[in-house]
Amino acid sequence: MTDSIRNHWDKVYTRKAENEVSWFEDVPAVSLELIAAAGATRHSSIIDVGGGASRLADALLAAGFDAVSVLDISPAALESAKARLGPRADRVTWLVADVTRWDPDRTYDVWHDRAAFHFLVKPEDQAAYVERLTKGIAPDGAVIIGTFALDGPQMCSGLPVQRYDGATLAKTLGRSFELIETRRHQHRTPANAVQNFQFSRLRRVRAP
């Protein structure tokens, strides 16, 4: 399955420019606002899961963050981001991995995921993601996940998605995570379509 999914996303990123895909954001404003709301400092370790060619890494570097990582299943997506960043790419840790099979070797202060988790429609894949999230986030760490809202699209890039609101997302992630806030967001695609998203910020609960 991993190979077929990797090939799917490699094709997407080789056939379209990074500003032509439906999820493109010139400025990831909501993500930056939530990272700030989580109290992240420029020394906080931040991982962008499913980051692809997103410009979040660019914005974080510009804001002075010095511990930025980007994980994606598609090497082509990450190469696109590296090419855009040029020499600044050396300041980012790039991880090519399927998040459901990845074995984090450290913990992060902030786990950010915009529009990756909602592609996991099988319960076993969702559970595998949560296992990696639980291992990869520091105690009291912030988890920021953006997905299609309950009234958002049912498909993206030819693949089915699982839609959420804050409550259903928190239930899926389980008791180790406390929901702090949820925001609705209307994303306008490069084709001028509107997609309804929800962004949830959660906190990793310390074990008793």
- Higher pLDDT residue, 1 or 16? 16
CA distance 71 to 78: 8
Tracing tokens 């559970």 back to the chain, one arrives at 127
* CA–CA separation, 62 and 85 (whole Å): 11
Summarize the confidence of residues 163-180 as an average pLDDT.
98
For the stretch 104-122, pLDDT in tens is: 999 999 999 999 999 999 9
Distance CA 73, CA 60 (A): 21
Cβ neighbours, 10 Å, residue 127: 13
Count of structural domains within the chain: 1
pLDDT higher than threshold 70 for residue 206: yes
Short-list 190, 193, 182, CA closest to 153 = 193
What does the alpha-carbon distance between residue 162 and residue 121 come to, in Å, rounded to a whole number? 5
- What is the arithmetic mean of pLDDT over 192-207? 94
| pLDDT, mean of residues 29-38 | 98
* pLDDT greater than 90 at residue 8: no
**For the domain that residue 46 is a member of, what is the CATH number?**
3.40.50.150
Q: Kindly state the average pLDDT of the residues 141-155.
A: 98
Say if CB 89 and CB 24 are below 8 A apart: no
- Convert the pLDDT of each residue in 36-74 to its tens digit: 999 999 999 999 999 999 999 999 999 999 999 999 999
Q: How far apart are CA 102 and CA 96, in angstroms?
A: 9
pLDDT digits (tens, 9 = 90+) for 82-100: 999 999 999 999 999 999 9
**Closest to 49 measured CA to CA, from 124, 10, 101:** 101
Tokens of 86: 């040029």
Q: What is the average pLDDT value for the chain, to the nearest integer? A: 95
* Contact criterion met (CB below 8 Å) for 73 and 95: no
Reported as a pLDDT band with limits 50, 70 and 90, residue 20 is confident
Among residues 117, 113, 163, the alpha carbon closest in space to that of 143 is found at 113
Domain that holds residue 92: 2-204
Tokens at residue 36, please?
A: 């700030």
Counting residues of the chain whose pLDDT is more than 70, the rounded percentage is 99
pLDDT of residue 208: 60
Q: How many residues does the chain have?
A: 208
Residue owning tokens 């499913």 = 50
Q: What are phi and psi of 168, to 5 degrees?
A: -70, -35
pTM: 0.95
Q: Which amino acid is present at 138?
A: A
Which run of H or of E encompasses 207?
Answer: none
